[in-house]
Structure 1
Amino acid sequence: MDHLSEIISKCFHDSEIAKLFSCKKTKTAALIYNVLTPNIEAEMLADLKSFENIKTRSPMFSLVIDETTDVTATSTLAVVTKFYSEKTLQVKTKFLTLVDLKGSSAQALFDALSDALNNANLNIKDAIGFGADTTNVMFGEQGGMLALLPK
């Protein structure tokens, strides 16, 4: 964005608005975090919740998760959801959230996932599918995360 501000004023040199345009990384980040992200999230969640289970009147969706560690050694859990959209009449795969983890145990992952779903007003019991890598913490017979998920 630092360079784009300069390019806009040069491309539209006859425009007073373009000459005054200034939107560098701080302002761009604020727009993304405070304006675009909440609207995109709300729109996606409304779409996800539009297709309900007839019996329970709750949305149906699948979850795909993966744990990762960034260069600062902070572990995070990426949560992606897959659902049928009544709006577009197709199955969609959408990023739901990225959660900082407090540990690497199956219980820590389960708690982080549950909190993320609660923040999105989704219930883990409404998930009809689950996907993850095949590590022991996810699918281990003795205390893997899969064992913690409601059946």
Structure 2
Amino acid sequence: MPRRKCTFNEELKKNFPSFKKGKYDWEVSCSICNCTLSIANKGKSDIEEHIKSSKHSTNLRASTSSATLNSYVEKRPTEANLKHLKAAEATIAYHTVFHHQSFNSLYCTMKLNQKLYFDSNICKQLSCARTKATAIITNVIAPFSISQVLYNLKNISHISVQTDASNHLALKMFPVLIRYYDFKNGGTKCKLLDIVFEKNEQSETIVQLIVRTLTQNSLLSKLTGFCADNCNTNFGGRQRKGTNNVFSKLKSLVNQNIIGVGCPPHVLNNAIYHGCDTLPVDVDIIIVKIYNYFSIYTVRTERLKEFAEFLDNEYKPLLYHSKTRWLSLYPAVERLLLMYEVQKTYFEDVENPPKTLQNAFSDVNI
């Protein structure tokens, strides 16, 4: 009577997980060695002998030292997680632009967030560094914001356009802004339509830029005002004569009734500047001289702080006045007035102060 063959039963499956049933019940397949062996005669002993063989030992060491393919394949997130992931990346990109931060900082921010919020599955999958953030802003957020502006302009009949040249390395950068009044959404609005780089800042170049940008957004027919710096290129001088300027060319090409609005800070600054000529002191010189008197002298600054504490006045550092007058002169004068009593007491007490500053803070000049 023939002997019954051993088979690969449930107990063997449990004890030897790297083996599975072969073509026949008495055959098993080794996943480590990728081979088939018979257990018909000895059953469990046949498997144990194979495990002890040099071939199996060598293949086992090789398999444990090699990474599986799964470690190189990224697991695709579910549809719900993918939606949250996209929203998180868009929010990070928008936050970076809104606060005027560098896109290069996102390299560090992404790694930092993954360590801080290690228990968040969304944060683990975030990969929004400089390249991706730039693509999101350029291709998603910027077009959407422009579409929102154009949607709000459907019921607006009149707009004004503004632009001015700024040097960015060797390029001329022109931002194109529109200004309009929307009584339903908070009154006067100023929106950025585009930023364009041009080869020069001649009047013809600026006119083509304005007309092209407004035409692309179907806004040219609504143009009723032009606002820019008060230079000859834009308005042809104070008398606004001549035809080789942006304002004149826009009137010829678009609308003869276009209103020209000069730079309000420039106009206001010039008015105040000439008004200050009637004062007994030169405000510009006083501001610069006071700042230079204290800026690099620790002993003088510390003594000024002592006077401020004595007079129960909060000390505030003096501000520097640059050549860009309307951006720095007013804050500098305002800071001077806040510290006026402190500085007046200081210059009355100090020995041999600068004559200009002594006269500026004397009661005779008030």
**TM-score class normalised by the smaller sequence:** 0.7 to 0.9
**Letter in structure 2 aligned against 1:136:** N
Correspondence for 1:129: 225
SS in 1 for 2:164: strand
Correspondence for 1:118: 215
Asked if 1:60 corresponds to 2:161, the answer is: no
Task: Tell me which moved more, 41-50 or 30-39.
Answer: 41-50
User: Pick from 20, 45, 48: which aligns with 2:153?
Assistant: 48
Correspondence for 1:30: 135
Asked if 1:70 corresponds to 2:168, the answer is: yes
**Cα distance in 2 between the residues matched to 1:15 and 1:7:** 13
Asked if 1:99 corresponds to 2:196, the answer is: yes
Which aligned segments of 4 or more residues in structure 1 are displaced greater than 6 angstroms?
A: none
Deviations 1:125-150, CA, capped at 9 Å, x for gaps: 42222110011110112211111112
Counterpart contact for 1:99–1:116, Cα < 8 Å: no
CA apart distance, 1:117: 0.8
Correspondence for 1:39: 144
CA apart distance, 1:86: 5.4
Correspondence for 2:235: 139
Q: CA 1:50/1:2 → structure 2, altered by over 3 Å: closer, same or farther? A: farther
Counterpart contact for 2:171–2:199, Cα < 8 Å: no
SS in 2 for 1:69: strand
**Cα distance in 2 between the residues matched to 1:24 and 1:37:** 18
* 1:75-86 matches, cutoff 5 A: 75-85=172-182
Unmatched 5+ stretches in structure 1: 52-58
Asked if 1:18 corresponds to 2:123, the answer is: yes
Counterpart contact for 2:159–2:225, Cα < 8 Å: yes
**Cα distance in 2 between the residues matched to 1:128 and 1:103:** 25
**Cα distance in 2 between the residues matched to 1:138 and 1:9:** 51
**Cα distance in 1 between the residues matched to 2:112 and 2:183:** 41
**Letter in structure 1 aligned against 2:117:** F
Larger proportion of helix:
2
Q: TM-score, length-normalised on structure 2?
A: 0.37
CA apart distance, 1:87: 4.7
Larger proportion of strand:
1
SS in 2 for 1:121: coil
Q: CA 1:103/1:68 → structure 2, altered by over 3 Å: closer, same or farther? A: same
**Letter in structure 1 aligned against 2:209:** A
Larger radius of gyration: 2
CA apart distance, 1:31: 0.6
**Letter in structure 2 aligned against 1:82:** R
TM-align CA RMSD: 1.6
**Cα distance in 1 between the residues matched to 2:137 and 2:213:** 20
**Cα distance in 1 between the residues matched to 2:150 and 2:183:** 12
Q: CA 1:8/1:66 → structure 2, altered by over 3 Å: closer, same or farther? A: same
Q: TM-score, length-normalised on structure 1?
A: 0.85
Report how many aligned residue pairs link the two structures: 142
Q: What is the aligned-residue identity percentage?
A: 27
CA apart distance, 1:74: 1.3
**Letter in structure 2 aligned against 1:103:** N
Unmatched 5+ stretches in structure 2: 1-105, 257-366
